[in-house]
Amino acid sequence: METLSTNRSFGGVQGVYSHASAETGTGMTFSVYVPPQAADLEPGAKLPVLWYLSGLTCTHANVTEKGNFRAACAEHGIIFVAPDTSPRGDDVPDDEAYDFGKGAGFFVDAVQEPWAANFRMRSYIESELPALIAEHFPADMTRQGITGHSMGGHGALTIALRNPDRFRSVSAFAPIASPLACPWGEKALGGYLGPDRDTWRKHDAVALIEDGARLDHLLVDQGTADNFLTEQLKTGLLALACRKAGIPAAIRMQEGYDHSYYFIETFMAEHIGWHAERLK
């Protein structure tokens, strides 16, 4: 692992790092904020971890620079990890559209060519990067939470639903709730996984809940002025699925907020505090 930069912030350290990924076959960059409590840990003591998955077209840098999470993480003693959304590099296949290819990995392991060799973001996020975080940071991997925005919200929900014993807390900002039911999802899942829609279900939060996956609790914030709400995000389908399954879910429609980081930064500290209660 290579350290690209470190900056002091709210008494902790905001770092940006890179490594050679065996899963994607590329170099991958990610950011980690380690709060000030790490400096005073007893030997063997560790801090809880909150994962943040970014949305379409984004890298680790979007939330690192605009997410306003560090003060809350410093207050609650939480390590904040922000991975990339897809493999990068000149040899990595891409698409001209913003919603497919680089920046649009959808946190799946592709099986279709030419994507299969590099687009393995599910395995990267679920296995490879957590092992690296556990090795290099004072991270308590028995106390993990996960959140994300838009495509990253889709990733956070589906990863948590598939791994209920790993994550103590789950939230999302304007997630793509049902990729099977929206143009973004149909394009990405069809392109990466092929035409068999049954294989898509494990990458759709609504379908996973319908098929029996459960969460102990869920927090979702969604802006009512979000241009993608009706066609792409399908928040109502997630709310309905949670009600039918008896999942305690606070799915909050925030009046006048859009899809941008102005929306995310408004509610970020509240989400971190919510995770902190469940990660103690």
Q: What residues act catalytically?
A: 150, 226, 259
Q: Distance between CA atoms of 236 and 215, rounded to whole angstroms?
A: 18
Q: Hey, what's the torsion of the CAs at 127, 150, 179, 50, to 10 degrees?
A: 30
For 74-85, letters b (16+ CB in 10 Å) and e give: bbbbbbbbbbbb
Contact 235, 218 (CB under 8 A): no
CA distance 145 to 231: 28
Closest CA to 277 of 171, 174, 155, 137: 171
Q: What's the one-letter identity of residue 275? A: H
What's the rounded Cα separation, in Å, for the pair 185 and 187? 5
Rg (CA), the chain: 18
Gap between the Cα atoms of 255 and 221, Å rounded: 10
Q: Are 155 and 212 contacting, i.e. CB atoms less than 8 angstroms apart? A: no
